[in-house]
């Protein structure tokens, strides 16, 4: 079903054009779409995106915006679920195709939901890296924190390509290259393929291996802040470790030491 004849309602999603698509593995891809001038969001937030189903009704899912708030285009990073109502269709999009975009971005993985600190951890698994693709390209992240540590854990090395490309490319980014260069570090780990650093992030935190690897002290609420994004269970397990270290959960309405959000799938 094409969106060519779809008439957007005043409060409903707008119709945007796909600008580029890049497939990383048979499970993962990124795409960029036009950004309406009216769309405002904070780096780290999510928005509804979708396509029309066979019955011509919109199938919408929440997606973290992977591009920063200053970018003229919007970037998304997606999993492909073979029988997923949206992602099975989305996996086939090509430049020039149309997609639906919600009008109200929201979310808790925003800098304003954190109290000031020295070191910011961004813990992610799978497509949970997407909001950090936004935040690591935002100069505000480096204005607020002296050190930024992004962890990305996937099943195998091929699934780490997007974060490797993105974080690796930051040094050449005209806007954040200079500030990010000396502040950001990426820790990539796998759980099902042998790579230099293996294990779930939760195990690496609780064993202390993460901190030994980085050469930093264990989590400390006096200095450390964290953002967490992954599967529901990953966010809950990582949250328990933050609470055990004495960090308090925050929200936009009441900033704290860490914030969590489930990565969106399906
Ligand atoms: P594992 O291979 O041990 O399941 P997925 O591709 O299924 O979304 O998983 C992405 C990564 O998140 C995998 O490396 C997976 O490890 C890891 N993971 C899954 N559940 C948890 C959890 N509860 N806590 C930490 N990491 C998890």
Distances (CA, A) of 13 to 22, 91, 240: 24, 20, 36
Please give the number of the atom of ligand 1 that sits closest to the Cα of 159. Answer: 6
In the prediction, which pLDDT does 1 show?
55
H or E stretch covering 143: helix 139-144
Query: Where exactly are the structural domains of the chain?
Result: 3-101, 111-264
What digits encode the pLDDT tens for the residues 229-253?
999 999 999 999 999 999 999 999 9
Please give the number of the atom of ligand 1 that sits closest to the Cα of 192. Answer: 2
> Averaged over 116-129, what is the pLDDT?
98
Checking if the pLDDT of 203 tops 80, the result is yes
Atom 11 (ligand 1) nearest CA? 154
Cα–Cα distance measured from residue 133 to residue 138, given in angstroms and rounded to the nearest whole number: 9
Atom 1 (ligand 1) nearest CA? 191
CA of 250 to the centre of ligand 1 (A): 24
Checking if the pLDDT of 265 tops 90, the result is no
Running DSSP on this structure, what letter comes out for residue 114? B
Which residue, among 131, 115, 114, has the nearest Cα to 75 in the 3D structure? 131
Distances (CA, A) of 188 to 51, 147, 196, 261: 33, 17, 9, 20
H or E stretch covering 233: helix 232-244
Secondary structure (3-state) at 211: helix
In the prediction, which pLDDT does 263 show?
86
Query: In the structure, what pLDDT confidence band is assigned to residue 9 with cuts at 50, 70 and 90?
Result: confident
Cα–Cα distance measured from residue 110 to residue 178, given in angstroms and rounded to the nearest whole number: 22
Mean pLDDT over the full length of the chain: 95
Query: In the structure, what pLDDT confidence band is assigned to residue 266 with cuts at 50, 70 and 90?
Result: low
What CATH class has 3-101? mainly beta
Tokens coding 259? 């914030």
- Residue 84 near residue 126, CB atoms below 8 Å: no
Pocket lined around ligand 1, Cβ cut-off 6 Å: 125-126, 153-155, 191-192, 200-202, 230-231, 233-234, 237
Cα–Cα distance measured from residue 83 to residue 75, given in angstroms and rounded to the nearest whole number: 23
Atom 8 (ligand 1) nearest CA? 126
Checking if the pLDDT of 138 tops 60, the result is yes
Q: Determine the topology of domain 111-264 in CATH.
A: Rossmann fold (3.40.50)
> Averaged over 91-101, what is the pLDDT?
97
Chain-centre distance for alpha carbon 201: 16
Checking if the pLDDT of 14 tops 90, the result is yes
- Percent of the chain at pLDDT exceeding 70: 99
In the prediction, which pLDDT does 181 show?
87
Atom 12 (ligand 1) nearest CA? 125
Spatial CB neighbours of 42, under 8 Å, sequence gap ≥ 6: 69, 105, 107, 110, 111, 112
CA of 211 to the centre of ligand 1 (A): 20
């Amino acid at each position: 079903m094409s969106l060519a004849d779809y008439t957007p309602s005043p409060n409903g999603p707008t119709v945007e054009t796909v600008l580029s698509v890049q497939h990383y593995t048979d499970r993962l891809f990124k795409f960029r779409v036009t950004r309406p001038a009216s769309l405002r969001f904070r780096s780290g937030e999510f928005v509804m995106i979708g396509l029309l189903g066979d019955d011509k009704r919109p199938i919408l899912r929440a997606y973290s915006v992977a591009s920063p708030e200053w970018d003229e285009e919007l970037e998304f990073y997606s999993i492909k679920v073979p029988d997923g109502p949206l992602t099975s269709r989305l996996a086939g999009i090509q430049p020039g195709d149309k997609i639906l975009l919600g009008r109200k971005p929201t979310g808790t993985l925003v800098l304003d939901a954190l109290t000031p600190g020295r070191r910011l951890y961004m813990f992610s698994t799978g497509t949970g890296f997407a909001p950090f693709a936004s935040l690591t390209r935002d100069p505000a992240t480096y204005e607020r924190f002296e050190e930024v540590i992004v962890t990305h854990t996937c099943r195998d090395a091929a699934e780490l390509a997007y974060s490797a490309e993105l974080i690796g490319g930051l040094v050449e980014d005209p806007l954040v290259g200079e500030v990010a260069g000396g502040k950001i570090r990426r820790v990539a780990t796998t759980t099902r393929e042998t790579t230099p650093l293996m294990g779930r992030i939760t195990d690496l935190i609780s064993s202390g291996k993460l901190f030994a690897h980085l050469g930093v002290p264990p989590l400390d609420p006096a200095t450390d802040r964290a953002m967490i994004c992954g599967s529901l269970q990953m966010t809950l397990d990582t949250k328990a470790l933050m609470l055990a270290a004495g960090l308090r959960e925050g929200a936009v309405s009441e900033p704290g030491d860490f914030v969590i959000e489930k990565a969106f799938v399906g």
